[in-house]
């Protein structure tokens, strides 16, 4: 059709579009390539408008949108062109039904769309989280009495620690009183670094100190004293005897007197004494006297800060006590607590420097505790003099009772630790037992690591002390009462170096896998050798395999007990 006649036929329909501006695009063709058809724009100049409409119509025709048969029958009249353009404008400017609908995505996966990887796993995780939080909400605020099994009650009733005026009553403390309910959280597993430290100032320089209720005296490494240009006095009264967790004794190298400031807290004294040691796992330790004066674990717990990441290993420190004394309780150091482990009544050292609960091997055997001696239950430990040892195993306690010897400390503005004495059935000033009563076989038992030569029967670690709020329930744990001066000072350091079996078994398994791979490669190599050499290599390889097997005849990892 001539171009001029087409333009003339389109002029009659130009009024339909007015002064509007339209953008028209065609859908992609079979090769998914866009066919540009330009922009249809009405201008005041009618001749220019007709030229653009003609170009658009020609391009659209080339794209195959129009029916060639209709074009031939109708002679490509101008009215058909205008109607075709109008229908095109309506098609591209109107949203088709359901084109942008999202109803199919609201309740379930859309048909024809692939599943997101890991979707089923995320659904299962969300379900477990909802169930766990539901159980936690149901258990919050549940203050109910709980009694130990009859066998345990009968054994506990004969405790020599209890006064006749204070009958033994076992109660379950509220969740907000014992660190979100002991029975719902396993105490024996420490999944993160919860070590608390104090940031103190010495000579206007900040230092990180470890608050340790298990150490009687303040301790400083000799390297730190020299670095700060502190004068070390080395007189006879400055060199004292200290006992290690292994039962060995060491002597301090001297003593320094230095001004210590605690930001945000006014101290009664400005200068403090520190015993110095050449070998010290941490540069600065604040003992019981400092902690008692500053009331760190009672009224001023806000000054405790999270340990920095580079000191995360400090969370494994154990600062434990001296040997159990047969003398009267008045001669015992203040950081002692009565406790019952499955009905066995013992004295324990409260030790904020330890995240692990410990029990001596001698005590475990004497009291008849079953000991798990499997390699997985053993740990490496390091003492204050740098020597190392291995734990014997683990003891699992299902009924732990702690006896508070005096009234608890009230914290101003903090109602978490206020308990109605009438509700609990105790008089103020009488022992307040807290019971951790767990059904045998559950995952919430309390784990005690068994150590040969431990100077004390039991050591209660930082996690358990925090969850039971021990220092507020029994403020006398950090008192300055008299001690037996004939006994050595308490400086028994044990650093946990991690599980024994995990490291050794992993290294063993790696070597075993390497050996199996070597044998497989060697077998393939021998099979490709010529006959005379093959027999010789087979004999040599057999001798090597026999030697390797002989070394592993008594291996605990190859032949577990």
Kindly tell me if the per-residue pLDDT of 391 is higher than 60.
Answer: yes
- Domain limit, last residue, from 93, 112, 138: 93
Same domain for 158 and 172: yes
Same domain for 321 and 232: yes
Residue 517's pLDDT band (boundaries 50, 70, 90)? confident
- Domain limit, last residue, from 501, 517, 541: 501
In sequence order, the β-bridge partners of residue 317 are 495
Domain assignment present for residue 7? The answer is yes
Handedness of CA 249, 251, 257, 261 (dihedral sign): negative
Domain assignment present for residue 390? The answer is yes
Same domain for 529 and 426: no
In sequence order, the β-bridge partners of residue 285 are 210, 219
Kindly tell me if the per-residue pLDDT of 28 is higher than 50.
Answer: no
| Distance of alpha carbon 505 from the chain centroid | 24
Domain assignment present for residue 137? The answer is no
Kindly tell me if the per-residue pLDDT of 29 is higher than 80.
Answer: no
Q: Which domain holds residue 541?
A: 506-551
Same domain for 515 and 496: no
pLDDT score of 44: 46
Same domain for 85 and 180: no
* C-beta of residue 173 within 8 angstroms of C-beta of residue 279: no
Same domain for 205 and 82: no
User: What tokens does 325 get?
Assistant: 């004394």
Same domain for 215 and 266: yes
d(CA 468, CA 187): 11
Domain assignment present for residue 212? The answer is yes
| Burial classification of residue 70, based on how many CB atoms lie within 10 Å of its CB (0-12 exposed, 13-18 middle, 19 or more buried) | exposed
* C-beta of residue 339 within 8 angstroms of C-beta of residue 351: no
Which of 78-82, 137-141, 476-480 holds the top average pLDDT?
A: 78-82
Q: How many domains, in total, are found in the chain? A: 3
d(CA 499, CA 390): 9
Question: Tokens 């509220």 sit at which residue?
Answer: 174
Long-range CB contacts for residues 84-89, cutoff 8 Å, separation at least 24 = 84/57, 84/60, 85/40, 85/53, 85/56, 85/57, 85/60, 86/16, 88/24, 88/60, 89/22, 89/24
- DSSP designation for 87: H
Same domain for 530 and 546: yes
pLDDT score of 299: 82
* C-beta of residue 354 within 8 angstroms of C-beta of residue 375: no
d(CA 325, CA 403): 19
Cα–Cα nearest to 332, from 159, 161, 209, 164: 161
- Which range, of 91-100, 227-236, 360-369, 388-397, averages the lowest pLDDT? 91-100
- Domain limit, last residue, from 43, 75, 93: 93
- Which range, of 475-479, 493-497, 519-523, averages the lowest pLDDT? 493-497
Domain assignment present for residue 468? The answer is yes
Percent of the chain clearing pLDDT 90 (strictly above): 6
Give the mean model confidence (pLDDT) for residues 21-42.
42
Whole-number mean pLDDT of the chain? 66
- Which range, of 258-262, 456-460, 467-471, averages the lowest pLDDT? 467-471
Cα–Cα nearest to 491, from 242, 238, 315: 242
Domain assignment present for residue 105? The answer is no
d(CA 358, CA 391): 10
Residue 141's pLDDT band (boundaries 50, 70, 90)? very low
Same domain for 511 and 456: no
pLDDT score of 178: 35
User: What tokens does 234 get?
Assistant: 């080395």
- Which range, of 118-122, 311-315, 457-461, 525-529, averages the lowest pLDDT? 311-315
The 10s digit of each residue's pLDDT in 40-64 is 444 445 556 566 656 665 665 555 5
Residue 100's pLDDT band (boundaries 50, 70, 90)? low
Domain assignment present for residue 30? The answer is yes
pLDDT score of 181: 36
The 10s digit of each residue's pLDDT in 255-306 is 999 999 888 888 888 889 999 988 777 788 888 778 888 888 778 888 888 7
- Which range, of 164-173, 521-530, 547-556, averages the lowest pLDDT? 164-173
Cα–Cα nearest to 363, from 421, 323, 402: 323
d(CA 245, CA 453): 7
Q: What is the CATH number of the domain that holds 408?
A: 2.40.70
pLDDT score of 39: 41
Strands 317-320 and 249-251, bridge-based pairing: unpaired
Helix (H, G, I), strand (E, B) or coil at 376: helix
Percent of the chain clearing pLDDT 70 (strictly above): 50
Domain assignment present for residue 109? The answer is no
d(CA 220, CA 211): 12
Same domain for 430 and 292: yes
Same domain for 169 and 23: no
Question: Tokens 């150590």 sit at which residue?
Answer: 451
Q: Which comes out higher in pLDDT, residue 129 or 25?
A: 129
* C-beta of residue 352 within 8 angstroms of C-beta of residue 458: no
pLDDT score of 150: 37
Give the mean model confidence (pLDDT) for residues 324-338.
53
Same domain for 79 and 17: yes
pLDDT score of 482: 47
Q: What angle do CA 99, 105, 107 make, to 5 degrees?
A: 140
């Amino acid at each position: 059709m001539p171009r001029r006649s087409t333009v003339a036929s389109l002029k009659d329909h130009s009024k339909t579009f007015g002064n509007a501006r339209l953008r028209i695009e065609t859908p992609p063709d079979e090769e998914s390539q866009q066919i540009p058809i330009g922009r249809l724009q009405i201008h005041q100049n009618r001749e220019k408008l007709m030229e653009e409409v003609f170009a658009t119509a020609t391009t659209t025709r080339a794209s195959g949108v129009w029916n060639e048969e209709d074009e031939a029958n109708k002679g490509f009249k101008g009215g058909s062109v205008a109607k075709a353009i109008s229908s095109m404008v309506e098609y591209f400017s109107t949203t088709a039904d359901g084109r942008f609908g999202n109803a199919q995505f609201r309740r379930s996966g859309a048909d024809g769309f692939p599943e997101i990887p890991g979707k089923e796993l995320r659904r299962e995780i969300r379900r477990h989280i909802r169930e766990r939080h539901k159980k936690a909400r149901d258990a919050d605020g549940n203050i109910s009495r709980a009694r130990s099994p009859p066998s345990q009650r009968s054994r506990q009733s004969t405790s020599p620690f209890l006064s006749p005026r204070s009958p033994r009553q076992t109660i379950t403390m509220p969740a907000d009183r014992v660190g979100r309910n002991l029975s719902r959280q396993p105490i024996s597993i420490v999944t993160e670094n919860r070590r608390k430290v104090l940031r103190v100032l010495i000579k206007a320089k900040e230092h990180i100190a470890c608050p340790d209720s298990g150490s009687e005296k303040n301790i400083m490494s000799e390297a730190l004293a020299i670095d700060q240009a502190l004068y070390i006095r080395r007189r006879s009264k400055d060199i004292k005897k200290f006992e290690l967790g292994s039962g060995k004794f060491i002597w301090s190298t001297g003593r320094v007197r230095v001004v210590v400031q605690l930001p945000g807290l006014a101290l009664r004294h400005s200068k403090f004494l520190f015993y110095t040691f050449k070998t010290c796992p941490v540069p600065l330790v604040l003992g019981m006297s400092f902690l008692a004066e500053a009331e760190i674990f009672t009224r001023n717990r806000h000054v405790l800060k999270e340990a920095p990441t580079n000191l995360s290993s400090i969370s494994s420190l154990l600062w434990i006590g001296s040997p159990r004394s047969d003398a009267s309780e008045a001669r015992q150091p203040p950081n002692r607590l009565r406790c019952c482990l499955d009905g066995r009544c013992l004295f324990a050292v409260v030790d904020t420097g330890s995240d692990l609960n410990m029990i001596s091997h001698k005590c475990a055997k004497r009291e008849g505790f079953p000991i798990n001696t499997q390699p997985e239950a053993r740990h490496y430990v390091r003492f204050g003099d740098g020597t190392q040892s291995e734990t014997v195993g683990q003891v699992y306690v299902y009924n732990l009772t702690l006896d508070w010897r005096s009234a608890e400390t009230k914290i101003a503005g903090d109602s978490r630790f206020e308990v109605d004495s009438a509700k609990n059935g105790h008089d103020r000033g009488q022992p307040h037992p807290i019971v951790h009563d767990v059904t045998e076989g559950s995952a919430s038992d309390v784990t005690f690591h068994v150590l040969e030569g431990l100077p004390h029967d039991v050591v209660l670690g930082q996690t358990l002390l925090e969850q039971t709020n021990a220092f507020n329930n029994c403020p006398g744990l950090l008192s300055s009462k008299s001690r037996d001066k004939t006994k050595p000072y308490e400086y028994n350091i044990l650093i946990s170096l991690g599980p024994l079996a995990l490291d050794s078994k992993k290294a063993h398994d790696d070597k075993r896998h390497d050996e199996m791979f070597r044998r497989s490669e060697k077998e393939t190599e021998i099979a490709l050798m010529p006959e005379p050499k093959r027999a010789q290599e087979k004999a040599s390889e057999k001798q090597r395999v026999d030697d390797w097997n002989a070394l592993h005849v008594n291996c605990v990892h190859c032949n577990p007990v």
